[in-house]
Structure 1
Amino acid sequence: MTIRFIHTADLHLGKTYRTASAESLRYEDFFVMLDSIVKHAIDEAVDFVLIAGDLFHTGQILPRTFARTIESLQPLKEASIPCIAVEGNHDWIHRRESISWMEALSEMGYIRLLRPSRTESGGYRFEPFRSEEGIGGYIEIKGLHIYGLGYIGTQAGSHVERICESIATTGNILLFHVGIWSYSPVEIGNMKPEEALPLSAKFDYVALGHGHKPYVVERADGQPYAYNPGSPECVNFGEERFDKGYYLVTVDEGIYRHEFRQTSPRPMMVTTINLDGAENADEALRRLSEAIRPKLFRGVDDRKLLLELKLTGRVRFHPFELGRERLRLLLDELCHPLHVEIKNHLSLFTREGGQEREQKHLGEIEKEVVRELITARSEFKGREEELLRLALAIRDQVMKGECEGDDLLGMLTAPQNHQ
């Protein structure tokens, strides 16, 4: 019997830029992408859809996001195509006394949320999915056993042995929100390839999520066993370099054949402009305009682009003179981007006592100030760099306008119950 399914991940529903004038357009991008995947699933008459974590961008979503998600998933429900999902690190809700939105979707029958229970000794117990409660560790569809394991933190590799010990049969599917080092572009939540390899003995297809870049993991004999489709929409700057899409998978007599279906995300551009030697802000703006014009998309996609602009070089005027608002006005004239992020790494180049002197740029000054504040506290000894990265990450999220208070608290709260 031939079985077909779609494997997608990292949809990040609810993401937008709250500081952008057209935030509703960006908000809708992610739902439009899910709508297209759902339509394809119905057109292809697949047997089920897998979502390998991060359905939502944050655990604390707005009611309108929940309602819009139901609207997107409703056609799957009406077509009797099961949508099987696990929780990613973005879906995780740090206030566990509250029901999560993922759990609510599962109870309502829009997804089948898979989550194993734990034994007293720390092992895993995958119990059958219970529709009336909307929870379980595995589900069987047309003879295939699909096991689910969401985000379990930075030590996922050390859990593989216990995961395999809990599975009695072979030839299964595992839905797992984790990355594999050397393949995944993310910095945390990965495990080493050698740590992941034992999964291939129990599972013919490991459906990964977490990293937004597509990749396939092979055993030493060249046989693939783990697949990450990446995110179908560009979520963060830098992802414009990656192929975007999801997998359409066919299982025939135990043989898995995957086909990468490309999607069409909103155009995104990251560019660096060197303004070295500019004498004043007006000259810098003129040079910026001349340098960026040839790089802009022309006639390929009529959607407004997402733009990250990094300015570098040593200039002879104070970088603060090239303020964000002045730069935004210029960029609006040039390409009217949907959203723009500006990284001003210009440094002031002065002449003192007949000698030239370069001052630190704003980003370096900010980093040094935060580092001094952290190192001044003895209880932070040994964690300085970790806390510095966290502090700067929180600053970046606030400046991008992506986070609410609960989201920032979630960045500070480790999911200890998932360890």
Structure 2
Amino acid sequence: MTSFRFLHAADLHLDSPLRGLDADRSAPAARIRGASREALSALVELAIAEAVDFVVIAGDLYDGDWSDFRTGQVLVAALARLTRAGIRVVAIRGNHDAESQITRELRLPEGATLLSTRRPESVVLAEHGVVLHGQSFASRDVTENLALGYPPPRPGMFNLALLHTAATGRPGHASYAPCTVEQLARHGHDYWALGHIHTREVVLRDPWIVFPGNLQGRHINEAGGKGASIVTVREGRVAAVEHRALDVVRWQRVAVDCAGAADDDAVLNRVVRAVGEAVDAADGRLLALRLELSGPTAAHAGLARDQAATLGRLRAAALEAAPEEAFWIEAVRLGTRPAVPPAPRTDAVGQLLGGIATLPPGALPADLAEYAGQLLERAPGLRDALGPDHPAVQAAEGRIGAEWLDRARGMLLARLSDD
């Protein structure tokens, strides 16, 4: 067998609309919305610079149907750059760009192949001794195990399978094309190039089963570096799988410990330092930050009294750390508490605070999760359509009730300090 290298990407979500940006006039909306195109360009440049032999894309090239032909033209232009450089491309459709979802179509350049939706298809790259297997989504809600229909490995060749799947399930992702790790491993293929899960994960190393994660984060629940994997094969065996960051906008949670901060200025100084460190580590990318403040501090009442004003003050102070084109603070989550607990109260307000404080941990989130989970189960595509930041999805995953309780408690305590 020959030796070669390939690039494994998935979940490009080209031109994802990111509708929530319109609600905040401070957001660098144009830069964030253009990030998926820039990340795709970075993928092409990486593949050419690394002289990979071919590229595989495991579904969700698009976020959905195009608003105009320009979205398709951007992808075709990127694929053409690769094929002109002698780099083959093989891709499959996922749930977002399933055949039933895309109403417009453009011819792909020679050397770029989109695998069939009707049945598993195989493409042979004879010069590398490689055969690629895969099947595209015909419709958005694929609930059957597609992997069971994939052909067996061809002897004497490196067998690579593309599959858009949630495997055994992952938080925040609908269970499309479900399968088990054991089923994939038993199939006999050398490398499973998976897509759909937006967090990078090496599921198994023998054989290699890999989610590269999405190419570009789209919101705070897709925080951290995003990109693709470069795979090196020597004499028919995978020798290395390396993650390469390709995101141009990076969503990041920044923890700020406010414990012991004597006043607002002390808190602001800590925020400036934390933002500066995050920007320094971003390697020139635009950062979309969520500040998470915690700890007992004398500044708590002032921070919690008017959280919109607090966000404005923190955004302004952070400009001491870096210019505004380097970062955007999309939100602040306030988890601080008073340095000295307030004296107990016996009036109605005190009873309200006591009731909040004595709620069993997780009681409200569990109730919300059960109701929201039932709602989402009735419509399998609804979770993806709403997005991970929608309250219904957050509730189904138990991520919303506890936060609301903490914020309500903090705001009540802040108001009480004024009485």
Asked whether the 8 Å contact 2:163–2:193 carries over to 1, the reply is yes
Q: CA deviation at 1:63?
A: 3.6
CA distance in 1, matches of 2:239, 2:49: 19
Q: Give the direction of change, closer, same or farther, for the CA distance of 1:277–1:392 in structure 2 (3 Å limit).
A: farther
Amino acid at match of 2:287: L
Give the equivalent residue in structure 2 for 1:176: 163
How far off its partner does 1:25 sit? 1.9
In structure 2, the partner of 1:416 is none
Residues 190-339 of structure 1: pairs in structure 2 closer than 5 A? 191-199=179-187, 201=188, 203-218=189-204, 223-241=206-224, 244-263=226-245, 265=247, 266-272=249-255, 288-298=267-277, 299-300=280-281, 301-310=283-292, 321-323=306-308, 327-328=311-312, 330-335=314-319, 336=324, 338-339=327-328
> Is the 1:49–1:81 contact (alpha carbons within 8 Å) kept by the matching residues of 2?
yes
Rounded Cα–Cα distance in structure 1 between residues aligned with 2:383 and 2:160: 38
Give secondary structure in 2 for the equivalent of 1:296. Answer: helix
2:130 corresponding residue in structure 1? 144
- Judged with a 3 Å threshold, the aligned counterparts in structure 2 of structure 1 residues 316 and 224 are, in CA distance, closer, same or farther, namely same
Asked if the contact 1:207–1:227 (Cα under 8 Å) also holds between the matched residues in 2, the reply is yes
In structure 1, stretches of 5+ residues that fail to align are 118-124, 127-136, 362-366, 400-419
Identify the residue that residue 116 of structure 2 maps to in structure 1. 115
Unaligned runs of 5+ in 2: 358-362, 392-419
- The residue aligned with 1:26 is 32
Say which of 79, 82, 95 aligns to 1:76: 82
Matched residue, 1:133: none
1:50 aligns with 2:52: no
1:6-39 alpha-carbon deviations (Å, 9 max, x no partner): 2122223223654364222223333333223222
1:12–1:235: 8 Å Cα contact kept in structure 2? no
CA distance in 2, matches of 1:240, 1:318: 25
Q: Distance in 2 between matches of 1:327 and 1:294?
A: 16
How far residue 307 of structure 1 moved from its aligned partner, in angstroms, is 0.8
Indicate the percent of aligned positions where both proteins have the same amino acid. 23
How far apart, in 2, do the equivalents of 1:196 and 1:397 lie? 31
Cα offsets for 1:202-228 (capped at 9, x unmatched): x2221111223333333xxx6233222
Query: 2:147 — aligned with what?
Result: 160
Corresponding residue SS for 1:383: helix
Query: Please, which moves more after superposition, 344-353 or 224-233?
Result: 344-353
Displacement after TM superposition at 1:275 (Å): 7.8
Q: TM-score, normalised on structure 1?
A: 0.66
Letter in 2 for 1:210: H
The answer as to 2:403 corresponding to 1:383 is no
Residue 304 and residue 47 in structure 1: after superposition, are their counterparts in 2 closer, same or farther (change >3 A)? Answer: closer
Give the Cα–Cα distance (whole angstroms) in 1 for the partners of residues 345 and 376 of structure 2: 34
CA distance in 2, matches of 1:22, 1:195: 44
Q: Aligned AA for 1:39?
A: E
**Superposed displacement of residue 357, structure 1:** 3.6
Change (3 A) 1:92 1:326: farther
In 1, distance between residues paired with 2:82 and 2:147? 32
Change (3 A) 1:115 1:332: farther
The answer (yes or no) to whether the contact 1:4–1:250 under 8 Å persists in 2 is yes
SS in structure 2 of the partner of residue 66 of structure 1: helix
Cα separation, 2, equivalents of 1:40 and 1:264: 9
Say if 2:291 and 2:332, in contact at 8 Å, map to a contact too: yes
Secondary structure at 2:61 match in 1: coil
Superposed CA offset, 1:108-148 (max 9, x none): 5473111241xxxxxxx33xxxxxxxxxx232212422122
RMSD over aligned Cα, in angstroms? 4.6
CA distance in 2, matches of 1:105, 1:312: 53
Instruction: Look up the match of 1:130.
Output: none
1:378-417 to structure 2, matched below 5 A, reads 383-384=374-375, 386=377, 394=386
Q: CA deviation digits over 1:179-236, x for unaligned, max 9?
A: 4448x6654335332343333x2x2221111223333333xxx623322222343344
Secondary structure of the corresponding residue to residue 88 of structure 1 = coil
SS for the counterpart of 1:58 is: coil
- Decide whether the 8 Å contact of 1:309 with 1:340 is kept in 2: yes
- The one-letter code matched in structure 2 to 1:60 is W
Distance 1:146 1:290, change over 3 A: same
CA distance in structure 2 between the aligned counterparts of 1:313 and 1:388, rounded to whole angstroms? 41
Distance of aligned partners of 1:69 and 1:384 in 2 relative to their CA distance in 1, 3 Å threshold: closer
TM-score (norm 2): 0.66
Alignment of 1:79-118 (within 5 A): 79-92=85-98, 94-95=100-101, 98-99=103-104, 103-106=105-108, 108-109=109-110, 111-117=112-118
